[in-house]
Structure 1
Amino acid sequence: MRAGREDVADVIVVGAGPAGASTAHWCATAGLDVLLLEKAAFPRDKVCGDGLTPRAVAELARMGVGTQAEDGWIRNEGLRVVAGGRSWELPWPDLASYPGYGMARARMTLDQRLAQHAQAGGAKLLERTKVTGPLLDERSGRVVGVVAQPLDTRGRAEGAPVQFRAPVVVAADGVSSRFATALGITRRDDRPLGTAVRTYFRTQTSAGSTTRHEDPWMESHLELWDGAPGGSTLLPGYGWIFALGDGTANVGLGAVSSTPARQSAGGHDYRALLDTWVRNTPAEWGFTAENQVGPVRGAALPMGFNRSPLYSGGAVLVGDSAGMVSPFNGEGIAYALQAGRVAADAIAQARTRTTDDARERTLGTYADRMRADLGGYYTLGRAFVRLIEHPHVMRACVRYGLPRPVVMRFVLKLLSDCYEPRGGDWVDRVIAGLTRVVPAA
């Protein structure tokens, strides 16, 4: 495939993160001609906690992605919750729908691995290709392709813009989603918005005194203070330490507000918060400036379907482009992978329809299926965020909820979205029932 030549595909995917790679993989598996466009070159970094819940691991298994330890993956047994001077280790539930373990892998290599998997399935990957906007049909206004700009190794424009045409374009270009914005599909102000900052630390010193990088538990610190521990304001969020098994750990924190306006009004310096939190960790963990690997980086977390419609006139939105991050825990990878799978199924089915109207209805089932599965859960998540924005609610949860095993069992399944959607124990049935009775997001 040469820059400067128009290429026709069955589907174009904009962005090769987890959502884009999943879409490309499943479309290619269905026999479609797939063009996957990525503005950077692999390997490239993304701001993330690098943790994968059992729900995400299940999606990787569906894709056939190998997750052996020798290939750079590390498993974790569950979540260690730290608050009020105590800690609790909560194993992942062992369910029929999801495995009883999570995993971790740095996005620097995870995204490349997923893109390569899509390529192995038949997708055509074109790196250093920045999509600058949609290509529209002059009469109908329907999306029929993209306009793209080839980039050089420094990320500068190289040569003339090119056009790639396809009957369906999938926007998987992240939280900003310039592609969706160019179509007038803007972010909603009534959805939660999170902020995350993270960095990496070498956790095994030269003396070998600590091995936090091999910790079998994902660690979550629920008391996130704006100031010294016990300080002025208890924020709705948590700090994390996720072991990567390669001598390093991902260390970061995330906070959430019920609306972007409330987040802007808060005015918190999250990088400073991370610095304060890290400086108060035990010395033997090795979270020092000498052991820090790379800078502190931050990103917004678009939550609860904060951009819609998910499908319109030839354009499909998946992952962060559609605001699919969970309001409960900031998890986005599992839903990105799921969205790619569901979108690909709708696209493949639409190819079999014989009229334009039938194809449009079939493509529209993607949005229906995603909302049916996640809409109620995201609605509960919005209510959860509104509650924990009140510091006294957070204090009560930490003081009275954490010491009770039944409560924590319920909270783990709810916040991690790891419950049996049908059947299971009473906890599963309660959560599933709640997601069905509330209005879909």
Structure 2
Amino acid sequence: MLPSLVVRPCRHTGRVSSDIPPHRIPGRADVLVVGAGPGGSAAAAHAAAAGHDVVLLDAATFPRDKTCGDGLTPRAVAELDHLGLGDYLDDRPRIDGLALHGWGAQQLVHWPSGRFPAYGSAVSRVEFDEAIRVHAVARGARMIQGAKAVDVTMSNGRIDEVIVESADGPAAIAVRDVIVADGVRSALGKALGREWHRDTAYGVAARAYVPSGRADDHWMGSHLELRGPDGALLPGYGWVFPLGGAGDGLLNVGVGALATAQRPAHMALRPILEHYARMVGDEWAIGGPPQRITSALLPMGGAVTGVAGPNWMLIGDAAACVNPLNGEGIDYAMETGRLAVELIDDTRRSPDHTTRWTDILVEHYGLAFSAARRLAGVLTVPQAVPTLGRPGIRSARLMSLVVRVMGNLITPEDADLVARAWRTAGRVSTRIDDRPPFR
């Protein structure tokens, strides 16, 4: 018999969300999903729809904010269709492509058409994460908020129980399978042996919101020539894009930088972000200073090991499934959530996830991540950005390729010259990697 439920309306989806009070934490679950961001909630929704008894756990109380660019690529839009949320973006901005700026030039590049929708969108993470979480509960997942997974009990590498801490004290949940989606720091992943390797490119980023008269624009601004308040060229980029009328007339504005262990990013992000907002203020009709500034450190390109065990898998940011060229990870998070549930449903073929999950991540992302993080590493070298960017921004064809790569829009089925060249670059890069993605 299910425990009594606390019910809250959710104005964003029209559904209701059901939460298990922390003091009524269930004693077991077929599938425990740790982390209710886009990846975890997507995984919970897919698993519940497949008939599993699912518990979705998060240390936060929703709705909650998250440091993120809030942008949704066409690949992320396609994943919403997989979830059954294809109409969620109907009243959200339709982002037709990127307005790329730098070195006195601009290119308007449409999202490429093909397997994915030819448009993206943008929703604040406060709203987006809540909508997917509520959808997972509507599918049948049981939600526990305000409770953190802190440890596990194991036998022969399998998780028997997950130890959960809440305001009411510790509790244990017996599990059959665990999907770890607790973000870039991944406390549970660390407890399971996950290790982040900083010898390849990683990101640092800051994000804020600003009021604007262009909140219903159809372009995502991206500035490849990022300069600090002193005019010095920085190894990073800036972005600005609309959140639409539902976003209260706000823009998301942010700056990001690439770094490696050899070339760390020594940047004071807040003054750089404030300077960038002033720089684009007239163009984007910005009507006030940046609000709700937050920052984050981003493992990228599969630069982690220890992503799976016999009955557990890391997904999304926890598995460093983040694009090394732009810091985007929402589409990877939702996609890996779906793939993880497909593997759970394929237990007869692979009752032990340890090797198979790593192979799946490598199969889907290994070549692209290896090539992208190698290029990202090159961009941390002083003067590499202007050397490549100054002529590149003047080529519409080259910028179209950049957008296709940055948007994670090259698939294994694509057989055109660009796709073949990108996969070849990935194969060459992987062969010379000291540590290939996820290995």
User: Per the shorter chain, which TM-score range?
Assistant: 0.7 to 0.9
Matched, 1:427 2:424: no
More helix per residue: 1
Q: Deviations over 1:337-385 (max 9, x none)?
A: 11101111111211x46xxxx511x563222111111011011012111
Match of 2:68, SS state, is coil
Distance 1:401 1:305 in 2: 27
- Aligned residue for 2:409? 418
- 1:135 is aligned with what amino acid? T
Mapped to 1, the partners of 2:400 and 2:367 lie a distance apart of 20
Distance in structure 1 (CA, Å) of the matches to 2:384 and 2:46 = 43
- Cα 1:420–1:186 change in 2 (3 A) is closer
Q: 1:43 aligns with which of 45, 50, 63?
A: 63
The Cα shift of 1:437 comes to 4.7
What is residue 125 of structure 2 aligned with on the other side? 107
Shift in CA distance, 131/296, structure 1 to aligned 2, threshold 3 Å: same
| Distance in structure 2 (CA, Å) of the matches to 1:20 and 1:321 | 10
Q: 1:79, CA displacement in angstroms?
A: 0.6
Q: CA deviation at 1:196?
A: 0.9
Q: Which residue pairs with 2:153 in the alignment?
A: 135
Gaps of 5+ in 1: 151-157, 204-210
Aligned CA RMSD, in angstroms, stands at 2.0
- Quick one: which of 380, 389, 394 aligns to 1:389? 380
SS across alignment from 1:429:
helix
Partners of 2:404 and 2:285 lie apart in 1 by 32
Greater Cα offset, 396-405 or 418-427: 418-427
Q: Which moved more, 1:10-19 or 1:406-415?
A: 406-415
Q: Distance in 2 between matches of 1:401 and 1:54?
A: 23
Q: Which amino acid aligns with 1:159?
A: D
Match of 1:262 in 2: 263
Residue 238 (structure 2) aligns with: 239
User: How much has 1:69 moved relative to structure 2?
Assistant: 4.9
Matches of 1:396 and 1:267, distance apart in 2: 21
Shift of 1:5: 5.0
1:218-257 superposed Cα distances (whole Å, 9 cap, x missing partner): 11011112343xx33x223210111000211101111111
Structure 1 residue aligned with 2:102 = 83
Which residue of 2 is the match for residue 154 of structure 1? Answer: none
User: Is 1:21–1:115's contact at 8 Å kept on the other side of the alignment?
Assistant: yes
CA 1:295 to 1:404, structure 2 compared with 1: closer, same or farther past 3 Å? Answer: same
- What is the alpha-carbon distance in structure 1 between the residues aligned to residue 319 and residue 200 of structure 2? 12
CA drift of 1:86 comes to 2.4
| Distance (Å, rounded) in 1 between the aligned partners of 2:383 and 2:25 | 60
Tell me how far 1:261 sits from its aligned partner.
5.0
Shift in Å at residue 85 of structure 1? 2.3
1:126 corresponding residue in structure 2 = 144
1:361-411 C-alpha deviation (Å, 9 max, x unpaired): x56322211111101101101211122112322112222111122222222
Counterpart for residue 38 of structure 2: 18
TM-score (norm 1): 0.87
Asked if 1 retains the 8 angstrom alpha-carbon contact of 2:179 and 2:312, the reply is yes
Indicate conservation of the 8 Å contact 1:420/1:429, yes or no: no
Distance in 2, matches of 1:391 and 1:88, equals 24
Equivalent residue in structure 1 for 2:306, among 294, 309, 318? 309
Give 3-state SS (helix, strand or coil) of 1:213's partner: coil
1:248 corresponds to which of 229, 244, 250: 250
Residue 320 of structure 2 is matched in structure 1 by 323
d(CA) in 2 for partners of 1:109, 1:5: 26
How many percent identity over aligned positions? 35
1:9 to 1:69, Cα distance in 2 relative to 1, 3 A: closer
Aligned mates of 2:42, 2:161 — CA distance in 1: 20
Q: Which amino acid aligns with 1:25?
A: A
Change (3 A) 1:390 1:141: closer
Give the equivalent residue in structure 1 for 2:351. Answer: 359
| Contact 1:47–1:198 under 8 Å retained in 2 | yes
- Contact kept? 1:236, 1:388, Cα under 8 Å: yes
- Describe the shift of the 1:276–1:291 C-alpha distance in structure 2 as closer, same or farther (beyond 3 A): closer
Is 294-303 or 431-440 further displaced after alignment?
Answer: 431-440
Shift of 1:322: 1.0
| C-alpha distance in 1 between matches for 2:161 and 2:229 | 49
Task: Label 1:64 to 1:193 Cα distance change in 2 as closer, same or farther (>3 A).
Answer: same
5+ residue gaps, structure 2, are 4-20, 431-435
2:338 aligns with 341
- Taking the aligned partners of 1:314 and 1:69, their CA distance within structure 2 comes to 34
| Structure 1 residues 260 and 423: alpha-carbon distance in aligned structure 2, compared to 1, 3 A threshold | same
| 8 A contact 1:421–1:429 mirrored in 2 | no
CA distance in 2, matches of 1:109, 1:425: 37
Deviations 1:410-436 (A, max 9, x none): 222122221343245322332234334
**Following the alignment from structure 2 to structure 1, what is the Cα–Cα distance between the partners of residues 210 and 237?**
18
The 10-residue stretch of structure 1 (125-134 or 239-248) with the greater mean CA deviation from structure 2: 125-134
Q: Counterpart in 1 of 2:18?
A: none
Task: Give, in whole Å, the separation in 2 of the partners of 1:225 and 1:67.
Answer: 39
Spell out, residue by residue over 1:6-34, the C-alpha distance to the aligned partner (whole angstroms, 9 max, x if none). 42111101100011011111111221111
> What is the CA distance between 1:149 and its match in structure 2?
1.9
Alignment-derived partner of residue 134 in structure 2: 116
Kept in 2, the 8 Å contact 1:422–1:429? The answer is: no
Q: TM-score, normalised by structure 2?
A: 0.88
